[in-house]
Amino acid sequence: MINKTLSPKTDVVNLKLIFTVIAVILTVLLGFASVQSFLSYRSESHELRELDIRHSRLEKDFVSLGNLIEQYTREQEKFQKLLFQEQDVPLFLEEIALFASDAKVKILDVKTRTFVKVKYLDPAKAEKNKKSGPKEEDQGLVLSSLPVQVNIQGTFESIVKFLMKLERYKQLLTLSDVEIKLKEYPQLLCSLTVSIYSLREMKTGMAQ
Amino acid sequence: MGNLLGIEVGSKQIRYLVFSKKGRKCLVSKKGAVLLSGTAPSFMAHAVLSIISQEKIPFGDCYLTFLQDNMLSSQFILPRIPARELEEVVRGEIEKIPSFSAEDFYFTFSHRPFEDAKTKVIFSAVLKNAVDPLYSEAREKKSRFKRIELAPLNLLPLSYHLHKGKDEAMIVVDDNATYVMVNSAKECKLLYSISSGKSTLYRDDKLDSGEFLNWTEEIRRALKSYALSYNVLEVKDCWLVWDRDKPGLEQQIEGKLGLRVKSLDITLFAGFAALAGSELNPRDCIAAAPIIAELNKYNSEFNFKGMMREQFLKDSKKKLIAAFAVYSLCVVAALGSVFLFYSKERGQIKQRLVDTRASIAELEIKTQALREKRDEAIRAKELLILQAGFVRELNRVSWSRVFGEVATELPAEVAFSSFQVSGTSSVTLRGEALDVASVAELVRRIDNSRVLYKASFDFLKEAKRKDESIYFTFGILASIRKDDQ
C-alpha cells in the first residue's frame, strides 16, 4: 500500500492551495478595493454630472436674467428719451416763450410747481403690484409730472396755434385744466396746465 | 532522445550503465564502475559527478539508486494506527537505530494489514548526507536527477512484472549484506536483511561453506517465517540479484534451499538489450531498475519521490513564491493601477465637485440677486405702464382740434364767453346768444360733434343789455369724445 502521506504532491498541492488562497484573498481584496473605488468614482461622476447640469442651468438662467434686465434697461432708456430730464425743464420753458412768440400769444404768467408722482390708471392693480413688490411703493424710479401753470392772452386762432405747437412737442407732455375766457373781443384769456413728465427716483413719502 | 545514465551508488564503488535509445529499443551501450577512495560522502559525490561529466549526460537523464552499507532496509510490525500517523511512527522507529538517531535521513515505506489489528511496515532509509551533495550539485546547475531510489526496494516492480504470480522471493546480495524479499500479488510481504554478503560468503574467491550454510539457514528461516505468517506451504521461485563474477551461487542456493533460482537480467525486460559483445551482470539491474521501471511504466508501492519531498518542497516553495510574486505583481499592477486610476480620478472629481458646488452657490446668490433685480424691474415696468396709461388717458385729447371743431360748430348768433375743461373729459361752455333756438342748435351740433358729445344745458338765462335788447346767457355741459369713442 503506497503511503500517500509521503507524497510530495500532497504537500505541493497543500502549498499551492495556501498560495492560491492567499492569491485569491489578495485578488479579492484588491478587486474589492478597485471595484469600490470604481463604484465611488461612478457615483461621484454621476453627482458631478448632475451638478454640471444644474450649474449649466443656473448659468443659462443667469445669462437669461442678465439679458432680460438689459432689455428692461434699454426699454427704460428708450422710454426716458421720450421724457424730460431735469436739465430739459429750463429749455422747455424757453421754448414755451418761443411758441408763444410764434403763435402770437402773450404769456401772462408761467408757474412751475414741484414734481409729483403720476397717478396709476388702475389703482387696484397698482395696489397689487405694490404689495407683491419687494420695495415700498414710493421708492424707486417712478413717472413723475411737473405741472406748469400757463396763462396766456391771444386770439382764438393764436391760442389754438399755441396749443397745437405744445401738442406736437417732441417730448411727452399733457395739457389739462384748459380754460378760455373772453377778455375783450377778439382777445381771449387762456389758462392751462402743461404737465411734463420725467422718471424720478422717488423718496419715501413723496406725494402723488 | 539522448542517452540515459543509471548509477548505483554503493559504499565502496559506483556502478553505472549508459543506455542508448534506438527506436523502441533501449540498449546498454556502456557500463562501468568507479572505486571510491574513501567513505566520506564527498568522495561518492565527486565520483558520481565525474561519471556524469565524463558521459556528458544531463542530470535530467540520470537515475540514482542507493545501496549502501549504512542504509537501513527492514520491516516491523506494530498495532494498527491511522495512516496519517504512520510516517511519524516509522520515523521514530528509524531514529531508534543508533546510526540514524543523530542524523537526518530520507526514508520510504509501505504498509499493509498484518494478522489481526496489526500493520506490517516495510521501509528503507538513507542518510541525507549521502544524497544531498548530489542533489545540491544538480540543483546548482538548475537541474534535478530524473529519479533517486533506494535498492533493494526499487527492484520489486521488476519482479512483479516478470512473475505476476504468488509468493516469489528475491535475494539481493550486496557486498556486506543480503536482502531477502518475498512478494505476492504485486505486494512486498517480507523484507529481511542478513548482515553477511558477498564479502563474507567468499573467502579468497572461494565460497566459504560454513558461512554459506549459516547464510542459507537464515534465508530458510526467513522464508519459513513468511510461509507461516501467510499460510503458504513454501516459496518455490526466487530471483537472484548478485555479482556474477563469483559463479555458481544460483546452483548452490537451489541445492541448499530447494528454490528455483533465476538471475535477474536486464534483457528480460521489454525493449532492453545489451550491445553485442557486452556482458551484463544481474547486479547491473540495481543501476538499471529506475530506468526499466520508468520506461515500462512499472508502478512501485514505495514512494521514492515522497522520500525527497523536503527538497522537492523547498524547490516548489521557491517556484511557488516566485509564481506568487509574479502573480501578486501582476494583480497589484493590474488592480492597483485600476484602484489608483479611479482614486486619482476620484480626487479630481472631488475637487471638481467642491469647485462646482462653490460655483453653484455663487451663481445662486448672483442669480437670486438678478431675479430680485428683474422682479423689481418688472414691478417698476408695470407701475410705469400703469402710470403711462394714466398719461395716455390725459393725452388722448387734442385741444387744438377740440377748439377748432367747436369754433366750426358755433352758430353765428352765439358767442362763447368762456370755455372751461375740468379734468380730462368734462367741458363747460358759457356764452351769449340772441335767441334760444341758436343755443338749442349749438347743443344739437355739439352732441353730433366729432370731439364733444353728451351735450346738456347747464343753465339758460335771459338778460338785458343797456339798450334794453334781450339776449340769453347760457351754460352747456359736455363730454370730450376720446379717440376710441
Q: For residue B419, what are the β-bridge partners?
A: A180, B429
- Nearest chain B Cα distance for residue A45, angstroms: 7
Residue B226 CA, distance from chain mean position:
53
Q: Is A33 helix (H, G, I), strand (E, B) or coil?
A: helix
Contact A12 B336 (CB under 8 A): no
- The torsion angles phi and psi of B121, rounded to 5 degrees, stand at -115, 130
Q: Of the candidates B343, B363, B373, which has its C-beta nearest A59's C-beta?
A: B363
Cell numbers 434697461 correspond to: A73
With contacts defined as CB-CB under 8 Å, which chain A residues touch B363? Answer: 55, 58-59, 62
**Distance set, CA B175 to CA B117, B118, B243, B263 (Å):** 37, 34, 9, 17
pLDDT band at A134 (very low <50, low <70, confident <90, very high): very low
Q: Please count the other Cβ atoms lying within 10 Å of the Cβ belonging to residue B246.
A: 14
- Would strands A140-154 and A116-117 be described as parallel, antiparallel, or unpaired? antiparallel
**Per-residue confidence in pLDDT tens, chain B, 485 aa:** 578 999 999 988 899 999 998 877 888 888 899 988 887 888 888 889 999 999 999 988 999 999 988 899 999 988 888 877 888 898 998 999 888 888 889 999 888 888 778 888 999 999 988 888 888 888 888 888 888 999 899 998 888 888 766 788 999 999 889 999 998 888 888 999 998 888 888 888 788 889 999 999 999 999 998 888 888 888 888 999 988 777 778 888 888 888 888 888 888 888 888 876 677 888 899 999 999 998 888 888 888 887 887 777 787 888 888 888 898 889 888 888 888 898 899 999 999 999 999 999 999 999 999 999 888 888 888 888 888 888 877 776 777 888 888 878 788 888 888 888 876 678 888 888 888 888 888 888 888 888 888 888 889 898 888 888 888 999 999 888 765 55
pLDDT at B165 (0 to 100)? 67
Residue B357 CA to residue B340 CA, distance in Å, equals 25
Reading the block at residue B439, the C-alpha cell is 343755443
Contact B391 A125 (CB under 8 A): no
Contact B375 A176 (CB under 8 A): no
| Mean model confidence pLDDT for chain A | 82
Q: Please count the other Cβ atoms lying within 10 Å of the Cβ belonging to residue A57.
A: 13
Q: Is B397 helix (H, G, I), strand (E, B) or coil?
A: coil
**Distance set, CA B181 to CA A6, A17, A101, B172, B238 (Å):** 22, 39, 158, 8, 9
Produce one character per residue of B437-476: b if its CB has 16 or more CB atoms within 10 Å, e if not: ebbebbbebbeebebbeebeeeeeeeeeeeeeeebbebbb
Using N-to-C axis directions, what is the helix angle for A156-167 and A88-103, rounded to 10°? 150
pLDDT at A144 (0 to 100)? 87
- Residues shown for chain B: 485
Q: What's the average model confidence in pLDDT over A119-139?
A: 60
pLDDT at A208 (0 to 100)? 42
DSSP state, B59? G
Contact B386 A3 (CB under 8 A): no
Residue A82 CA to residue A197 CA, distance in Å, equals 9
Per-position DSSP letters for B338-370, written without gaps between them: HHHHHHHHHHHHHHHHHHHHHHHHHHHHHHHHH
Contact partners, residue B149, CB within 8 Å, separation at least 6? B63, B64, B65, B66, B289, B290, B304
pLDDT at B67 (0 to 100)? 92
Answer whether B319 touches A (CB < 8 Å).
no
Dihedral sign from CA coordinates of A12, A16, A22, A26:
positive
Interface test with B, best of A178, A185, A188, A195 (most B CBs within 10 A): A178
Interface test with B, best of A174, A184, A192 (most B CBs within 10 A): A174
Residue B335 CA to residue B329 CA, distance in Å, equals 10
pLDDT at A64 (0 to 100)? 92
Specify whether the CB–CB gap between B306 and B153 falls below 8 A.
no
* pTM given for the model: 0.57
Cis amide prior to B152 (ω within 30 degrees): yes
DSSP state, B185? T
Answer whether B400 touches A (CB < 8 Å).
yes
| Residue pLDDT, tens place only, A141-199 | 788 888 999 999 998 889 989 988 998 888 888 888 888 888 887 888 999 999 888 88
**Of chain A residues 52-71, which have a CB less than 8 A from chain B?**
52, 54-55, 58-59, 61-62, 65-66, 68-69
**Of chain A residues 91-120, which have a CB less than 8 A from chain B?**
117-120
Contact A180 B420 (CB under 8 A): yes
Using N-to-C axis directions, what is the helix angle for A8-82 and B309-395, rounded to 10°? 10
Which chain A residue lies closest to B417 (C-alpha atoms)? A182
pLDDT at B250 (0 to 100)? 85
Residue A182 CA to residue B404 CA, distance in Å, equals 16
pLDDT at B171 (0 to 100)? 93
Contact B305 A8 (CB under 8 A): yes
pLDDT band at A88 (very low <50, low <70, confident <90, very high): confident
- Residues shown for chain A: 208
Residue B314 CA to residue B311 CA, distance in Å, equals 5
Residue type, A76: Q
With contacts defined as CB-CB under 8 Å, which chain B residues touch A194? Answer: none
Contact partners, residue B329, CB within 8 Å, separation at least 6? none
So what's the ipTM on this one? 0.76
Which chain A residue lies closest to B122 (C-alpha atoms)? A1
Residue B366 CA to residue A66 CA, distance in Å, equals 10
Residue B359 CA to residue B347 CA, distance in Å, equals 18
Q: What's the average model confidence in pLDDT over A8-19?
A: 77
| Residue pLDDT, tens place only, A48-86 | 999 999 999 999 999 999 999 999 889 888 888 888 887
Residue B142, CB-side half-sphere exposure with 13 Å CA sphere: 1
- Would strands B272-274 and B25-35 be described as parallel, antiparallel, or unpaired? parallel
Q: For residue B460, what are the β-bridge partners?
A: B474
Which chain A residue lies closest to B308 (C-alpha atoms)? A8
Reading the block at residue B27, the C-alpha cell is 540498449
pLDDT at A7 (0 to 100)? 59
